[in-house]
Chain A
Amino acid sequence: MKRNILCGLVATLLLLTSMSCADSTAGSRYWGKTQPPKENVLRYISGSEPESLDPQIPTGQPEARILMALYDGLVEYHPKTMSPIPAIAESWEISPDGTEFIFYLRKNAKFSNGDPITAKDFVYTFRRGLSPELAAQNAYLAYEIKYAQAYNSREAFVKDKDGNFLLKKDFFEDTKATKPESEKKSSFGPETEFYRFINSPERLTVPLDEKTREAFFKKNPKIKEAVEGKELVPVRAEDIGVEAIDDYTLRLKLALPAPYFLDLLAHQFFRVVNQKTIEKFDKEWTKPENIVTSGAFKLQIHRPYDIIVVVKNPTYWDAENVSLDRIEFYPSEEQNTSMNLYKAGSVDAVYNNTVPAPWIEKIRNFKDEYLDHPAVAIEYYTFNVTKPPMNDIRVRKAFALAVDRFALSKFRKITKPLVDFTPEGIFPRYEAARKKIYSQLLKEYQIPLEEWEKRYFNPAKACQLMREAGYQVRDKENGRCEVLNFPADEVSVTYNTSEGNKAVAEFMQAQWKQNLGITVQLRNMEWKTFLPTRKALDYKGMARAGWVGDYMDPNTFLKLFYGPDNDSSTGWYDPKFDRMLDEANSETDPEKRFELLAKAEFYMLQAQPVIPLQTQATNWMKKPYVKGMYPNPGTLHAWKFVYIERDPAKWDRDVDNIMKESDPIVEEKITRLMQSQIEFEKKKKAGA
């Protein structure tokens, strides 16, 4: 009898669950409840709880999206392409050599407390972000600004007895390929005292801290000699290349030409903050009762881990064109919870990467809601090139060629195969230039076209390379082989714990087993353990890595390999690559610059310090009535373009085409904003 009752119970329970599992929405056009909210509000799952609402502190995407609502910068991201469009800067011009920028600010921009926003506020913001005391992790984004890096890392100028400063060019001749500054004919904008200082030849800087300085001198004994007995003058905030010419004119001076720098200025790190508030409340300034912001929305409620409510800011210079009255951000990282809230109609959109992998197959059928578009993000494996066997370039190439990237993409469902280091389908003009350059380089390097085309997967070549590297190789069918005496104990894949990373690692493991007969070990680590391990090259063989572009230019990817102490976590460094990158970035013609960058990319990949695997895709959902919200490559939404459409006839349909279709309401806004810059350029042309 006991058993009967138990059975009955289990059966009832199973029936109940299966009944409800049977999708109530099957066959319907939309997934779950689809009804616009009564008010003019967007409810959005925003990911992890923001580290801070200070735009200069957090580094993550979830924070970036919230901060974009609260703060405005010189420029804003175009909602589709992410290219810069005028924001607080009405217009701008760039000097012919690409190292100077002048921004003309609009006069009606105000903080949320009514204070006007002037060029001085931007000067304060830039200096604050770079101050060593703030120790902002994003400070490196501004290192292109002259003396910014020196100031941020506490360095000093060197002054001799006569009051002259030692110059950088006397010690580092060949690296930075800039023209001598004396050659420049006329000044760019008014010639102020600061301008003369910042445009004088770049001074030498050395670390102020004694320990670091000794280490620096050890590497550069020539400098040590020259510096001895001379006075060290610390680089101050006032020395960096940021200048308020007047209240509404801001001038930036870069150390090197950086054509991509304008794209970078929409980043939250450069969005303007209020000096008075920060100085008054110190670290408490971001509390709802104290905070002063500059964006289209202002903070109303912040209950950590629960909700952040921002409401339309009436003092915002473009307030009349902000459609939403309110945005509610719900910080939740649980994918299933986020999806449940979405399906129940409690939220209108979810942040990127919220659809769990096993759900994708089903969710992608909801064509009006699921957004699968290329992202400016890649996944790759790093090699530890400092340890055998991965110090052998042939072994690295063999491992890279023995992975079927098409199969990997198919397995991952939404990603695209990748063999280069810049994401595919994101920079079309760069890709065109690269194609041209690659065909030239193939001849130069004598690589047969057929072999080149097979670089996505070429087991036969991989086996051949292993043989050339001196391993015993036994051939098998389909070009596969078995490497007999490979030190498999010395090679493992280290990845940070996550379902997705594990799935990819197991896939890779199977590929190498199948194609090379090598079994590599898998090791997973919690994030904060993984990062220092990878950085210190404490891993054997390979480690998992991903990179999301900071701005819309290939340079944000290639830069990872720049400099002896670079962020690639591979141990690979080549001064020739640095020179190639420098040369490319000092080129002012965009077409030629892309070609030079492509050369650098090709050169780096010839050394195979990494295995590029896939271009990531956006993976999120929004209800069809949410309009003006696009799956741009960074999924960074300029909130002032977002609106709620109540007429179902005008709802978004088939969002695979959302980037091609034009929404007159959004287009009109963008055209109006672009007007000031277009007119400025016209006037300039007429003047010239």
Chain B
Amino acid sequence: MLYFIIRRLLIIIPTALLVVSVTWLLIRLAPGNFYTGEKKLPPAIEENIKKKYGLDKSMGEQYLMMIKNVLSGDFGDSLKYQGQSVNEIIRRHLPYSATIGILAYLLALLIGLTAGILAALKQNSLLDYTSMAIAMLGISIPNFVLGPILVIIFALGLYILPPARWGGISNLVLPVVTLSAIYAAYIARLTRAGMLEVLRSDFIRTARAKGLDEKTVLLRHALRGGIIPVVSFTGPALAHLLAGTVVVEKIFAIPGLGNIFIQSVLNRDEPLILGIVAFLSILIMVFNLLVDISYGFLDPRIRYS
């Protein structure tokens, strides 16, 4: 198990470097520059800017410089927002995304698991159909539709919740609900499918035959196996949620990381793009590792050597 974890951790570094390198190359291939403006810059000024940011060196040198920075964990300063370091920007904006992301995921778990389990237990009942229909709606209504609808109803119609911006708890309600909808729906469907499969398996029949009460069968035995699909979904989903979900952040004017990420690309803010990409790729890999580890605890049949 330990060997497995160490091996996986070691793979993360070269993978992240590869991701960053490809990103770097793509930025360099894209036309335009962080100082591209409507007015032509005097050639001397352009030279000056290039010198200031090391753009006058050869591509190879620049690449090595970039890799050196990445390895040291210091991405330097943002090119667009003067005087702000990339690490500072990520540190500052991550908490916003993380707050709504984690809350949305918890809400999604609560709704999804409950709905999924109930649907599986009462398969083909009205309850099953209703919850799965809602789940289907949740999956198929994109959040850029759901968000504005919620705003129209609760912020502009009833005036009971703020329509956007960061602030108190009331500001969190709409973005968290909007964000959680699709995840709750997925989780409900995954739980239902997982539970249905597990409930039909032999060890559940054995457990029941042993005379265990239904609650124990369900929570101790069936659920552990039933939520494995949910767990594998959690890894990438959490990373995605933490990294910010651009659309929801835009609709609700939340200063999260997703917003910054998009802006950094539009601004050709190379250090910031690389910083966020590196951060996200590592985050995704770490979450995937955590998911893989948790399998071992959930399902006794899965063992790592």
Contacts and interface: CB of A to CB of B under 8 A. Distances in A.
A9 B133 contact: yes
Interface stretch (A50-58, A189-197, A380-388, A448-456): A50-58
Contacts of A154: 44, 48
Given A1-B129, A5-B126, A337-B164, A532 B36 contact: yes
Given A17-B153, A209-B47, A528-B268, A330 B165 contact: yes
A341 B163 contact: yes
Given A305-B259, A344-B162, A212 B37 contact: no
B32 A532 contact: yes
B155 interface: yes
Residue with the highest number of chain A CB atoms closer than 10 Å, among B42, B137, B267: B42
Contacts of A139: 45
B9 interface: no
A17 B147 CA distance: 12
A531 interface: yes
| Range of interface residues on A (Cβ < 8 Å) | 35 or more
Nearest to A1: B129
Nearest to B46: A135
Given A140-B39, A532-B32, A337 B156 contact: no
Contacts of B80: 51
A663 B132 CA distance: 62
A284 interface: yes
A609 to B, nearest CB: 16
A446 B50 CA distance: 52
A6 interface: yes
Contacts of A152: 42, 44-45
B152 A17 contact: yes
Interface string A316-343: 0000000000000010101011001101
Interface string A1-26: 11001100100010011011100100
Contacts of B213: none
Interface stretch (B222-230, B248-256, B279-287, B295-303): B248-256
B255 A5 contact: no
Interface in A23-74: 24, 32-33, 49, 51-52, 54, 57, 59
B82 interface: yes
Interface string A280-319: 0011111100000000000000011110000000000000
Interface in B51-102: 52, 77, 80-84, 89, 92-93
B82 A54 contact: yes
A346 B260 contact: no
B33 A209 contact: no
A337 B83 contact: no
Residue with the highest number of chain B CB atoms closer than 10 Å, among A20, A32, A49, A152: A20
A287 B83 contact: yes
A571 interface: no
Residue with the highest number of chain B CB atoms closer than 10 Å, among A149, A287, A531: A531
Interface in A252-293: 282-287
Contact of B30 (A208, A304, A529): A529
B18 interface: no
A207 interface: yes
B159 A137 contact: no
A285 B255 CA distance: 23
Residue with the highest number of chain A CB atoms closer than 10 Å, among B48, B151, B163: B163
Interface string B3-40: 00000000000000000000000000011110111111
A57 B81 CA distance: 10
Contact of B81 (A52, A330, A533): A52
Given A20-B152, A52-B83, A346 B163 contact: yes
A531 B39 CA distance: 9
A66 B232 CA distance: 47
B148 interface: yes
Nearest to A525: B31
B206 interface: no
A438 to B, nearest CB: 29
Interface in A332-376: 332, 334, 336-337, 340-341, 343-344, 346
Contact of B38 (A1, A19, A346, A567): A567
B212 to A, nearest CB: 34
Contact of A567 (B40, B83, B267): B40
A567 B152 CA distance: 45
Nearest to A54: B82
Contacts of B77: 283
B39 A137 contact: yes
B52 A135 contact: yes
Nearest to A305: B255
Contacts of B42: 140, 149, 152-153
A13 to B, nearest CB: 8
B211 interface: no
Interface in A152-181: 152-155
B135 to A, nearest CB: 11
Contacts of B233: none
Contacts of A436: none
A33 B165 contact: no
B44 A212 contact: yes
A26 to B, nearest CB: 13
B266 A344 contact: no
A207 to B, nearest CB: 7
A131 to B, nearest CB: 10
A444 to B, nearest CB: 34
Interface in A505-542: 526-529, 531-533, 535
Given A153-B42, A343-B156, A526-B266, A5 B130 contact: yes
Residue with the highest number of chain B CB atoms closer than 10 Å, among A2, A287, A337: A337
A344 B156 contact: yes
B173 interface: no
A84 interface: no
A295 to B, nearest CB: 20
Given A9-B134, A51-B82, A535-B40, A528 B49 contact: no
Contact of B163 (A51, A304, A344): A344
A119 B139 CA distance: 64
B152 A21 contact: yes
B41 interface: yes
A306 B255 contact: yes
A527 B130 CA distance: 46
Given A133-B48, A283-B77, A532-B32, 12 more contacts: A13-B137, A24-B156, A135-B48, A139-B45, A209-B47, A283-B83, A287-B83, A304-B93, A306-B255, A336-B148, A529-B30, A529-B31
Interface of A: 1-2, 5-6, 9, 13, 16-17, 19-21, 24, 32-33, 49, 51-52, 54, 57, 59, 132-133, 135, 137, 139-140, 149, 152-155, 207-209, 212, 282-287, 303-306, 330, 332, 334, 336-337, 340-341, 343-344, 346, 526-529, 531-533, 535, 565, 567
23 contacts: A1-B129, A9-B133, A9-B137, A17-B152, A59-B37, A132-B45, A135-B48, A137-B39, A152-B42, A153-B44, A208-B44, A286-B82, A287-B83, A304-B89, A305-B259, A306-B166, A330-B165, A336-B251, A337-B251, A341-B163, A528-B31, A528-B267, A532-B36
